Amino acid sequence: MTTALTIIQSAPLAQLGNAGAAANRAAASHVFSAYAQRRPANTLRRQRADLDCFANCLASFGANVTQDLSSEPEAWAGITWGLVAAFVQWQLTQGYAIGSINVRLSTVKTYATLAMQTGTLSPTELAMIKTVSGFRHGEGRNVDAGRSTVRRGAKKAEATSVGAGQALALKDQADPRDALIMCILLDHGLRCGEIASLDVSAIDLAAGTMTFYRAKVHKTQTHRLSADTLRAAMKHLATPRSGSLFSTTTREINRRVGELGQALGIERLSPHDARHYWATAAARGKTDPKSLQDAGGWTSPAMVLRYIESAAIANEGVRLG
């Protein structure tokens, strides 16, 4: 494969200008594939879905995109800042959540930048696209207050709150498999996909630990099992087995957690709600923010704060003097 580096290395110094132009062309031809190589698979899947939504929006305007916006630079020919701004407004009319709109706008800007590097979009058009803004938190509330349809899809606007007593009841399941899943969710804060990917070898009963991979941050972690999780693991693994720890999917875990919550009168409980509970319980237990960030597999302290539920008494954690 011809790359910008091979062209430059093979060019005499006197021909550097021509080599530079050729290198630009070679680099441009690989911009989209080079970007994809640097991103985890789950990020690329989400971005492709974002761009499919953008394509659906354009189609509703009568501008059908026949090429793949996530891999083919030519698909961006004719994209303007006005179309991107219209995409933001279109999502509002479709009832998409403010957070989803902001994420999709960020994806469009990312790929518009790649398209500019290939020469498909002009620097001026990219600069205009980057002026299209999403919504801050307060702005989003104001916008939602003024539109009749504010939610689309199964994702909830707010996490379902789980109390300490409810968490204990959720972990106390007759089925060892259910009990272990709920213990891992509530005592360790794993994401649903991380649980579905667990192998039997992830649990070391003798050491009382669980080692697993967080695909979202490309990191392998080891957690010391809580007492409840260790007991549940011993019961679940009482019968020797190999391979997948639960032999299930994220869809199935979501469905089962919802059923277990419903049995306790908790409406629309999800694995993500359990992650919110875990972060909140850890913070109220005086876990320092850096340790909580590391244990939860978050890339920034700001993400930690999004998962911590506000106290019923606002100044309960304030210490004076």
* Residue-range domain boundaries for the chain: 39-145, 164-307
Average pLDDT over residues 223-252: 95
Taking 3-state DSSP, the helix, strand and coil percentages for the chain, each rounded to the nearest 5, stand at: 60, 5, 35
| pLDDT tens digit sequence for 34-77 | 999 998 888 899 999 999 999 999 999 888 888 999 999 999 99
Alpha-carbon distance of 81 to 103, in angstroms, equals 17
Alpha carbons within 13 angstroms on the beta-carbon side of residue 283 total 21
Listed in sequence order, the residues at least 6 apart from 174 whose beta carbon sits closer than 8 Å to its beta carbon are none
CB–CB of 192/212 below 8 Å? Answer: no
For residue 283, pLDDT over 50 is answered with: yes
For residue 317, pLDDT over 60 is answered with: yes
Alpha-carbon distance of 296 to 29, in angstroms, equals 38
**pLDDT value of residue 8:** 46
- Three-state helix/strand/coil letters over 246-264: CCCCHHHHHHHHHHHHHHC
**pLDDT value of residue 157:** 61
Between 147 and 238, the more confident residue is: 238
| pLDDT tens digit sequence for 204-217 | 999 999 999 998 88
**CATH topology classification for 164-307:** hpI Integrase; Chain A (1.10.443)
- pTM of the complete model: 0.63
